[in-house]
Amino acid sequence: MSKRLSTVNNMATFDEDADVPDLDSGSESDCEDERDWEEIEDGDSDGQEDEFHPLQGTVRCLFSNETLHSVEELLLRSKKCFNFDLVEACTVAGMDCISYIKMINFIRLEILHFDYQGQYKVELMVKDIESAITSPTTKMLASSSDNSSYLNHTSTALRAIGEGATGDGLKESEAVHALICSMQQVETERDFLREELSRALEQIEKLKIAGQEMLLRSSDNPISSKSEKLRSQSSSLSEEDGYFASYTHHDIHMTMLKDKVRTESYRDFMLKNPQLFEGKTMLDVGCGTGILSMFAVQAGASQVVAVDQSNIIYQAMDIARENGMHEKITFVKGRLEDVELPIQKFDIIVSEWMGYFLLFEAMLDSVLWARDRYLTPGGCVYPDHFSMKVVGMSDPELRKSKLEFWDDVYGFKMSCMKSSVSDEVNVRLVKDDLIITEPSVIKDLDVMQCTVSELDFTCEFSLKCKADGEITALVGYFDTDFIRGCTTKVNFSTGPEATPTHWEQAVMMLPTPVTVQKGKLRLC
């Protein structure tokens, strides 16, 4: 089986302009004559398909109801009987496909307004067509500025019509044939591009999902681990219990950026100690949105390399470009230990690596690895000093809600749950008036000297009591210092007495409250 196309009349069905009437005049003869495709039975004995001849088949005259046997006959009749050269009209007007279709629509529409035998009126209409073709203001032949790309293909075919205008009828037929073939080719290309776009969008969606799953599975990655913990446990600074608060990826970074104690301390360290950064190279470990890298550029760093494994690094690139710092900051996505950096040695390494109670879900091991691998002799890692501290807290209400709750749960005893609750660390804001001891330093960390093995430790400590009472829990926090080489030293604390930070405090419930007296030391 093969199919053949009745041209001219049928080409109008390609026009999708809502303002242009259909070529179909509504008459019964039109319904019979204007079928887009007709199936032809294969009569060849050898089973071969008929050749495709788009210029064969009956068509209706443009200016009468007469049925013609071919497009060639239609073109000749229009010239002889109505003094209208369709090919020349297209050439003179430099028509594209849409303009051509509009002209055919115009002819079909106007011919309905008078008797087909009115030869004089037909001649007047032909003059109107010619006038419309040459008029720059006419709407009938105006080509829309937002024509899709297929018009470029059809205009090529229309130019072929002009080239064939000086030849015989066969050349004109070939030109129209070229136009039809071009339209078919464009439709095929359009369908192909639609399929390609659909596949591309599907692949992008799969990549997004795969990236998210990879990020969630990477529990061994310090950067991802910290972000994961922040998602599940970070809380608002105005809330006391935000342990179960959940944050989206961007909310995590917003939470950290809104932590003024954290962010302004890093900013002040850099901008108030420009001698450390002027003309120097810096490595930003776990860069997030790139805020520390941009502070470094402000302080005079010549080149910054920012590394992060999470997808936020793509937004960080845009942020750097938006602020005109993209030429001085190079972003590298991946796990620090696995990627290759464009610079092999750095004068300064800066990182906001700290976790809850400093070391809980922190990424200090990556920072120490970077120190040993990338830091130049005489260089420094910042912050360079930390103190881990513990204080005693008296909060009977918290103990009741967390431990004594299990003594009577709707009339049932569940005391076996207490031991597991005591082993848990609650991250929350602790009110300063609940603290009844002086702080005790349990660990000092010099980042320039410490090793990974030192991060797993046990120690004894004592607490000096400030008041009589019962210690129901120990509260852990840390202090941070920017010291080495600084003319202006900067530090901040995450303790209960300080301005709240997103780190809050780590509360460790005691299995049994400990009674203390003011001024006494309690060995732990």
Helices 150-164 and 169-217: crossing angle in degrees, nearest 10, is 170
Of 237, 242, 352, the C-alpha closest to 289 is 352
Q: What is the dihedral of CA 219, 224, 227, 229, to 10 degrees?
A: 10
| Secondary element (H or E) of residue 269 | helix 260-271
Of 271, 299, 298, 296, the C-alpha closest to 283 is 296
Alpha helices in 331-395 (DSSP H): 364-374
β-partners of residue 464 are 521
The number of CA neighbours under 13 Å toward the Cβ of 75 is: 24
Q: Which two tokens stand for residue 338?
A: 């696995």
* Catalytic residue (one of 352, 397, 454, 497): 352
Distance CA 391, CA 474 (A): 6
| Secondary element (H or E) of residue 3 | strand 2-5
Q: Which two tokens stand for residue 303?
A: 């080149």
Q: Give the SS3 label for residue 102.
A: helix
In sequence order, the 6+-apart residues with CB closer than 8 A to the CB of 40 are 1, 2, 3, 4, 50
Question: Edge-to-edge, what's the strand order for the sheet holding 375-382?
Answer: 329-333, 303-308, 281-285, 346-351, 375-382
Distance CA 356, CA 235 (A): 12
Distance CA 81, CA 78 (A): 6
Total length of the chain: 524
Q: Give the SS3 label for residue 121.
A: helix
Of 71, 97, 72, 58, the C-alpha closest to 179 is 97
Is the bond preceding residue 383 a cis peptide, omega within 30 degrees?
A: yes
Structure-token match 């080719």, residue found: 185
- The DSSP bridge pattern shows strands 440-446 and 385-393 to be antiparallel
Residue 352: active-site member: yes
Residue 361: active-site member: yes
* Catalytic residue (one of 123, 163, 174, 361): 361
Instruction: Return the active site residues.
Output: 352, 361
